[in-house]
Structure 1
Amino acid sequence: MNIIRNPKDVLSGLLFIALGGLFAWQTLDLPMGTAVRMGPGYFPLLLAGLLGGLGLVVLINGLRFPGEMPSGVAWRGLLILTAAVVIFGFAMRPLGFLPAVVIAVFLSALASSKFNIVTALSITVVMAVFSWAVFIKGLGLPLPLLGPWLGGY
């Protein structure tokens, strides 16, 4: 009897656990603080723990429920999502927060093989408003909405 019933979920779970462990290890040199007065390592360690916990759930499901073998790497999605993250990083300073979010989210939507322009534009608008509400209004981060290339600052 084969103990691994869903190799795709088992591999994904192991990857999540490994990444969570790596991220947790990277926070060990940072001061943790307390739940009331969080240090710079508190939230990253919490997220690493959540990632590892999610990986454990996915791993257990891969051992319990049948599934399919991994079929290969979705190169288009991998390359477009990587490009979206890199472009977001490079676009933040010259274009500002909102244009960088809009570009990154729209590019991310292009990664899907089921791309639909109406859905992509809808997701882009929702994510731009959500990002503005959370990071600018909610958290009060001093991020410029528009950068110098678009007349901001």
Structure 2
Amino acid sequence: MVVNRKDLLAGLIFIGLGGLFAIGSLDLPLGTAFRMGPGYFPLVLSVGLMLIGAILAVRAINKESSPLGGVPWRALIFILPATIIFGFGVRGLGLVPAVFIVAFSSAFASRQTGPVFAFMLAVGLTVFCSLVFVYALGLPIQLFGPWVRF
């Protein structure tokens, strides 16, 4: 029997994370499909993540193995701090600067992305997120927060 270790590990990680979030969502009222409580949607997403993990793990069996490879340091260096900055700064900076920082920084996780493309991507995602979340959905998110002065 041949096992693709990379796919099996990814599937097990999905199952584990989905299980942890499913357990965490059980502390919240679930409600019903027609009257959803705050724990309903996280539970559904968790079950979906566990299902994807199970499919991935089963497909990894009898599949040619590939090496696990190294740690993607470039992605960790650019994406992880960007999401942390977004989480801590979206209220103070506002949606526009926070999304721009995340998109611009995350674009450099790929070696093939240049600064011009990263800038265009960041501008496009910032405009898209502003239109969708603030104008279309009407969420109470400030475009520019109190930390940004013009």
TM-score, normalised by the number of residues in structure 2: 0.88
Whole-angstrom distance in 2 between the partners of 1:47 and 1:18 = 13
Structure 1: where are the runs of 5+ without partners? none
* Matching of residues 102-121 of structure 1 within 5 Å: 102-121=100-119
Structure 2: where are the runs of 5+ without partners? none
Whole-angstrom distance in 2 between the partners of 1:118 and 1:54 = 36
Deviations 1:66-119 (A, max 9, x none): 241101211221232210111111221221012101101111111222222233
Q: 2:142 aligns with which of 137, 141, 144?
A: 144
* Matching of residues 2-151 of structure 1 within 5 Å: 2=2, 4=3, 6-151=4-149
Q: CA RMSD in A?
A: 1.9
Question: Which amino acid in the other structure matches residue 27 of structure 1?
Answer: S
TM-score, normalised by the number of residues in structure 1: 0.86
Deviations 1:27-84 (A, max 9, x none): 0110112222221111111221221122122222322432411012112212322101
Count matched residues: 150
Whole-angstrom distance in 1 between the partners of 2:7 and 2:49 = 14
Mean Cα deviation higher: 77-86 or 114-123: 114-123
Fraction of identical pairs, as percent = 47
